[in-house]
Amino acid sequence: MRKFDRWLLAGALLLASIVAPAARAATDPVAVVAAVKGRVEISTGHSRAAVRAVFGRALERGDKVTVGTGGSATLFFNDGNVIELSERSALTIGGRVVAGAHSAALPGDVFAQVSRFVTAGSRQTGLVAMADMRSDADASLPLLLAPRRSAVLDDAPTLRWRTVIGAKGYRVRVTTASGAEVWTREVAATDGAEQALAYPGDAPRLVAATEHGWEVEAFDAKGTLRRESTTLRVLGSEARGSVRTNLARITESAGGERSPAARFLAGSYLSGLGLYEEATLQFRALAALDPASPAPHEALGNLYLSVGLTDRAAAEFQHALALQRDAR
């Protein structure tokens, strides 16, 4: 085994230990830790030893959350309640708040999607850290970046892909689920690791609540260099309205756009719905708000895993591992 591979394997095992507590309650969590600041610990009925609370930790009935001096924690419950615990307070899940807290409410279906993402991620995070980190120019990497095997809110989404060495241009084709062409465009190759095409203003909009395909063919003067296709699905108008309403409620209930809890809940909610590109923006914003936390990078790793971008997943998980080591 190469030295690099051994390092990745060690990283996978370490990361699995980070997310293992969340996996314990993955079957039917009562609440989820939505944000943590300072010293926050969780003790369970299964173990007397308290552990540090982290974003996305799933909580069972009987778990006790204790906030130290100068700390705070935000918990999201399966009945839609969002509770913020202030310093020197504690809460037993299914019990009573020992000291000060304040709460707000969200629709119950939001918790279902948040829980779906959090518990799924806790089962698969550690494995992807073993994937090789490679350059974006590696021809074995997926070509298409976004939207990729995901749902979208916009019926005219921007399409993004990796550039191909030697390509003179790209042929972009959008189709119906049956393969019928919706539109095709050719664009010249540009410098950089990625290229994007804004949805053409004169092209037919994508049909809501319907799956579509899109394909990029990279070519040079001699012919095709690479070709790859993927799928996307535009949510129906009613579903899109519901998502936007719930996002506004999350922002209001969890402390506003500058709140780590709001960003974490919004990203997890969108991820549970398969809106991976929109979720990525939320977790990127969370990383900017809390740059020392490994949580947004673990979440981004799970997003990339969901759409098959394992190289980017590995990079995010390794970033999370580095932050975890720094915090010790």
pTM (2 d.p.): 0.86
Residue 105: band (very low, low, confident or very high) from pLDDT cuts 50, 70, 90:
confident
- CA–CA separation, 115 vs 138, rounded Å? 35
Mean pLDDT of 242-258: 95
Residue type at position 34: A
Domain boundaries, the chain: 3-131+240-327, 154-234
- CA–CA separation, 51 vs 48, rounded Å? 10
pLDDT at 125: 47
pLDDT at 140: 82
Q: Beta strand 150-152 with 223-234: parallel, antiparallel or unpaired? A: parallel
Mean pLDDT of 210-219: 98
Of 39-48, 198-207, 292-301, the one with minimum mean pLDDT is: 39-48
Burial of 41 (0-12, 13-18, 19+ CB in 10 A): middle
The pLDDT tens digits for 140-182 are 899 999 999 999 999 999 999 999 999 999 999 999 999 999 9
Q: Which residues contact 47 (CB under 8 A, 6 or more apart)?
A: none
- CATH architecture, domain defined by 3-131+240-327: Alpha Horseshoe (1.25)
- CA–CA separation, 127 vs 16, rounded Å? 8
Coil vs helix vs strand at 105: strand
Highest mean pLDDT among 50-54, 213-217, 323-327: 213-217
CA angle 83, 88, 90 (to 5 degrees): 50
Axis-axis angle for helices 108-128, 260-272 (nearest 10): 80
Closest CA to 7 of 319, 318, 325: 318
Residue 12: band (very low, low, confident or very high) from pLDDT cuts 50, 70, 90:
very low
Residue 26: is its pLDDT beyond 80? no
Would you state the structure tokens that stand for residue 53, as one six-digit string? Answer: 């609370």
Residue 306: band (very low, low, confident or very high) from pLDDT cuts 50, 70, 90:
very high
DSSP string, 157-223: --EEEE--TT-SEEEEEEEETTS-EEEEEEEE--SSSEEEEPPPTTSPPPPTTEEEEEEEEEEETTE
Cα→Cα distances 277→36, 125, 147, 284, 304, Å = 25, 19, 7, 11, 10
To which residue do tokens 């948040």 refer? 114
pLDDT at 121: 61
The pLDDT tens digits for 53-99 are 999 999 998 999 999 999 999 999 998 889 999 999 999 998 555 45
Which CATH number does 154-234 carry? Answer: 2.60.40.10
